[in-house]
Amino acid sequence: MSLHIENVSRRGILKGAGIVGGLVLTAPLMSKGLLAEIKKASGMLEATNYLSISEDGTVNIYIHRVEMGQGSRTGLPQIIADELEADWSRINFVAAFGDQKFGDQNTDGSTSIRKFYDTFRHAGAAARMMLEQAAAKKWDVDASQVEAREHRIVNKATGDSADFSEFVTAAAELPVPAVDKVTFKSKDQHRFIGKPVRNIYMKDFVTGSSQFGQDVRREGMLYAVAMRPPVLGGKLKGYNKEAAMAVSGVVDVVELPAFEKPIMFKPLGGVAVLATNTYAAKKGLEALAAEFEAGDNGGYDTAAYEQTLWQSIEGEDVNFLKRGDVDGALSSAAKVVEADYFVPHLHHAPMEPPAATAEWRDGKLMMWVCCQDPQSVQQTVAPYVGLKPEDVHVEATLLGGAFGRKSKPDFAAEAAILAKHAGKPVKMVWTREDDMQHSYYHTISAQRVKAAIDADGKVTAYKHKSAFPSIFEIFNPATEHPVPLEMGLGLLDIPFETANMQIDAGRARGHVRIGWMRSVTNIQHAFAVGSFVDELAEATGKRTDAMWMELIGSDRTLDPAKDGADYFNYGESLERHPLETARLKGVLKKVVEMSGYGKKMPKGHGLGLSVHRSFVTYVATVVEVAVDGDGNLSVPRAWVAADCGLAVNPDRVKSQMEGAVVFGTSIALHGEITAKDGIIEQTNFDGYPVCRMNECPHVEVAILETTGVPGGVGEPGVPPVAPAITNAIFAATGNRIRRLPIGHQLSA
Amino acid sequence: MDFKINGRAVSYDGDGEMPLLWYLRDLEGMTGTKFGCGAGLCGACTVHVDGMAVRSCQTWMDDVDGTEVTTIEGLGNGETLHALQVAWAENDVPQCGYCQSGQIMQAASLLAENPNPTDEEIDVAMSGNICRCGTYQRIKKSIRDVASGKVKGGTI
């Protein structure tokens, strides 16, 4: 990784940045993400600028990533504070606005810690060394004779010490140490890294004073709600403006610009009502009774579309990985095991529906948005209001959950358009119904898996085909089958040592907006692979953990490119984050040990197991289910073993794994978005249930730290959950669930 | 209509069908009470009316006349927080934090009525409150910690 730290305070550009005097460090850093290709095309500069120390010794940490529950706004400062030897109580946590100078702000793909650990560590360490050098100079001793300790510099010979503030001005005049000269603390010296530091927003959370996108208020602000075409690409036909304007509190009715392909993050069109409060706006919208024409996607029916996907599975193969001769091995097999899996559209349903506030100020636009990527808001909004992206100032508020939905800022563009029209600040409020019906849904998928088993019960070939509409169709309408990135999430990295392997995709087109949701296509791929290994264990009379061990085989690193695959590895090099079978086996062994997997269970109870690497983190999950005589399912307990490399904040890692089990249980038990006549049929949490307290297992988490390099945390806990649950159901009842959600399949 | 919010007398003469939720958030600017579903399905907007937990999105302004409304902002006493708020911090409950105002208000109402609930009673009382981040087991532990007297009100 190239890293160059520059002391910009020497260039005298601090004025206007709100910091007078002091030390400021900046470091360009190349970074890839899920949208790396789009960013390359837009010429976005990747750089970051995140630490300054004021003359009074206050450490200002600019946290350029957003907070949506994953804990990054606590974890990232832990890294700087530790290497700097800062006093946590003297840190000024600044939530950074959207600006290319901060580098990649797209808080997505479980990247915040894994992509910025080195950068933040270097920043803290470089600043500490500069303070130490300034002190050594002042005290006329060698730099080796002083050391930073809890916001002071200590003279090791005399024991004298002085506060950081004594040296800030002098340190700002010093050159930044060369990257290869920066020294880091050893693990045993860490005070924050690897420690369960409390969330920096805790008090705000428990007292209700935290500000989310929905909570923004500006002087003279209007509240907007909108009716959008119920069918993607539909057109506004008519509405009763007079009736809406007659509602007390309604100020205006404004048509939103009609939607045109490509989908991108564009608003959907429709018509908005502006009012002095949300209630009046909603009442006005009801009176407006807007009508729409359906358009091209009016025939979309998910039940019928499932058959289209199975036809695609039967049809032409688009090959992504090939090793040996799978068809030859299948034709000469003693036994062939085959299974089909189906996963419906899913929706993020964050507790906070999307919201954005826009206000014009001196010909520029100020925005407060619960967005995952403030730079993407700038890029998306600018063309709609005739500004350059840099003239759209975006503050990322706290996000009341996001799970991928809020990296698509269509709702922010709506707010900007309406604020420009109204000449007043406008908050665009999405209701829960808007959120359910106008999401970027997790794709809908069909998969067929086959394996050849020889006379000795050994698996000799593995063939897997996956058909689903691709996310990338929203950027490139010509996309007609999954892309390597999506196939790389759980298929191109299948860790089996099997001599013959083939991974194919089928063609499919989308009729709703398809987007990424927490762990993305790993959801359906891990469900199919995790279920199929359980089926192979059954077919060969083995325990599922033993089946996994046999399929994974020897300790080694994998390189899917050797089998012709274009493998993404979550934007990481295989040198920094290799695919290591030993780590996969490590979490598997650990979770078996924790859960007692394999032990005899009471009647109607079963344990299910699955393991999966995603976002360069390895997670194994065991779930216990109970199924009564009427087919009522409960999920009392779960165990998770996770190897995410270095865990910067172990308690937040643990909490992400606990939450991932709940998220995965919701997917398995209930998750299903359906469309009829192009319209999403679910409107609220009654139609799209998510797990409540009484349905959720108690989760026990073990964190294995086998390397010092951090991996992803927010997403990798999700993929193994659904197959672990359905495998547990098989263990409890002999009933094999191959389509999600489980729903009423057990009582049918 | 005349009523009290966190001990402060207020009066309102607008549309009686306005849900208390929007009155609190838009007219009073008290955004600690969250909008989650608008249909009484998620519990994010839970407040107390005369000490009882209600969904403010399903409580009309007509109904609050003469009552005492308590929101998350008024649950503690200045810097001295309610025991549940302290327990929430000690167990590091929140992830995104959005649903937690409603969760805490629901839990406070449960403990006021039933100071030592069983796990089943906690499940029943809390199952109307969704947490999409999945912090349920820490919520449950926090309620137990307060019920058992392990955690008391104070500062965090």
- For residues A731 and A607, the answer to whether their CB atoms sit within 8 Å is yes
Residue A700 and residue A697: Cα distance in Å, rounded? 9
- DSSP for A229-282? -SSTT-EEEE--HHHHHTSTTEEEEEEEPPP-SS-TT----EEEEEESSHHHHH
Q: B138 and A401: CB-CB below 8 Å?
A: no
Q: A351 and B92: CB-CB below 8 Å?
A: no
Return the residue of B nearest to A657 by Cα.
Answer: B134
Query: Please, which residues bridge with residue A558 across strands?
Result: A579
**pLDDT at res. A36:** 36
Digit-by-digit pLDDT tens for chain B (156 residues) are 999 999 999 999 999 999 999 999 999 999 999 999 999 999 999 999 999 999 999 999 999 999 999 999 999 999 999 999 999 999 999 999 999 999 999 999 999 999 999 999 999 999 999 999 999 999 999 999 999 999 999 999
CATH 1.10.150.120 segments of chain B: 83-147
Q: What is the CATH number of the domain that holds A610?
A: 3.30.365.10
Q: Is residue A716 over pLDDT 90?
A: yes
Distance to chain A for B41, nearest Cα, Å: 6
Contacts of A246 (CB under 8 A, 6+ apart): A287
SS3 A686: coil
A85 and A113 belong to one structural domain = yes
Looking at A429, A451, A478, the residue that finishes a domain is A429
Q: Is residue A489 over pLDDT 70?
A: yes
Return the residue of B nearest to A651 by Cα.
Answer: B92
Q: Which CATH class name applies to B83-147?
A: mainly alpha
**pLDDT at res. A7:** 55
Instruction: Please choose, from the candidates A487, A504, A492, the residue with its C-alpha nearest in 3D space to the C-alpha of residue A443.
Output: A487
Residues in chain A with CB shorter than 8 Å from the CB of B23 are 279
SS3 A731: helix
How many domains are there within chain A?
A: 3
A475 and A557 belong to one structural domain = yes
Between positions 82 and 121 of B, the ones with CB within 8 A of A are: 85, 88-89, 92, 94-101, 104
Flag whether A528 is in a domain: yes
Q: B76 and A223: CB-CB below 8 Å?
A: no
pLDDT cut 70: percent of chain A above it? 94
pLDDT cut 90: percent of chain A above it? 89
Query: Please, which residues bridge with residue A335 across strands?
Result: A453
Flag whether A521 is in a domain: yes
Flag whether A744 is in a domain: no
**pLDDT at res. A14:** 35
A238 and A327 belong to one structural domain = no
Angle between helices B100-113 and B136-147 (to 10 degrees): 30
Q: Is residue A582 over pLDDT 90?
A: yes
Q: A351 and B123: CB-CB below 8 Å?
A: no
Tell me: the pLDDT tens digits for A585-604? 999 999 999 999 999 999 99
Residues in chain B with CB shorter than 8 Å from the CB of A214 are 31, 34-35
Q: Is B48 on the interface with A (CB under 8 A)?
A: no
Cα B136 to chain center, whole Å?
16
Residues in chain B with CB shorter than 8 Å from the CB of A400 are 34, 96-99
Residues in chain B with CB shorter than 8 Å from the CB of A690 are 130, 132
Query: Please, which residues bridge with residue A472 across strands?
Result: none
**pLDDT at res. A101:** 84
Instruction: Please choose, from the candidates B59, B48, B33, B65, the residue with its C-alpha nearest in 3D space to the C-alpha of residue B110.
Output: B48
Tell me: the pLDDT tens digits for A369-419? 999 999 999 999 999 999 999 999 999 999 999 999 999 999 999 999 999
Q: A71 and B156: CB-CB below 8 Å?
A: no
**What is the CB neighbour count within 10 angstroms for residue A280?**
25
Residue A624 and residue A639: Cα distance in Å, rounded? 9
Residue A652 and residue A198: Cα distance in Å, rounded? 9
Strand locations in B56-151, DSSP E?
68-70
Residue A324 and residue A511: Cα distance in Å, rounded? 37
Flag whether A162 is in a domain: yes
Distance to chain A for B153, nearest Cα, Å: 13
Q: Is B38 on the interface with A (CB under 8 A)?
A: yes
Q: B130 and A690: CB-CB below 8 Å?
A: yes
Tell me: the pLDDT tens digits for A225-274? 999 999 999 999 999 999 999 999 999 999 999 999 999 999 999 999 99
**pLDDT at res. A705:** 87
Do the interacting molecules here have an ipTM over 0.85?
yes
**pLDDT at res. A102:** 86
A662 and A587 belong to one structural domain = yes
Flag whether A747 is in a domain: no
Residue A711 and residue A584: Cα distance in Å, rounded? 14
Instruction: Please choose, from the candidates A136, A121, A32, the residue with its C-alpha nearest in 3D space to the C-alpha of residue A75.
Output: A121
A223 and A114 belong to one structural domain = no
**pLDDT at res. A41:** 33
A336 and A359 belong to one structural domain = no
SS3 A203: helix
CB pairs under 8 A between A and B: 188
Return the residue of A nearest to B77 by Cα.
Answer: A207
A362 and A243 belong to one structural domain = yes
**pLDDT at res. A251:** 98
Between positions 191 and 210 of A, the ones with CB within 8 A of B are: 196, 198-199, 201-210
Q: What is the CATH number of domain B2-74?
A: 3.10.20.30
Flag whether A628 is in a domain: yes
SS3 B2: strand
Q: Is residue A632 over pLDDT 60?
A: yes
Q: pLDDT averaged over chain A?
A: 93
Average of pLDDT values for A684-700? 98
A89 and A105 belong to one structural domain = yes
Tell me: the pLDDT tens digits for A498-510? 999 999 999 999 9
Flag whether A490 is in a domain: yes
Whole-angstrom CA distances from A517 to A15, A109, A275, A494, A667 are: 41, 10, 33, 21, 11
Residue A383 and residue A402: Cα distance in Å, rounded? 25
Q: A208 and B32: CB-CB below 8 Å?
A: yes
Residue A498 and residue A548: Cα distance in Å, rounded? 12
Residues in chain A with CB shorter than 8 Å from the CB of B73 are 207-209
CATH 3.10.20.30 segments of chain B: 2-74
Residues in chain A with CB shorter than 8 Å from the CB of B32 are 207-209
Q: Which structure tokens are listed for A468?
A: 């689903």
Band of pLDDT at residue A178, cut at 50, 70 and 90: confident
A232 and A267 belong to one structural domain = yes
Band of pLDDT at residue A25, cut at 50, 70 and 90: low
Main-chain phi, psi angles of A27, to 5 degrees = -145, 120
**pLDDT at res. A24:** 62
A420 and A461 belong to one structural domain = no
The residue range of the domain holding A385 is: 213-295+355-429
Instruction: Please choose, from the candidates A505, A326, A393, the residue with its C-alpha nearest in 3D space to the C-alpha of residue A97.
Output: A393
Q: A279 and B19: CB-CB below 8 Å?
A: yes
Flag whether A255 is in a domain: yes
Residue A59 and residue A78: Cα distance in Å, rounded? 12
Distance to chain B for A646, nearest Cα, Å: 20
Q: Is A462 on the interface with B (CB under 8 A)?
A: no
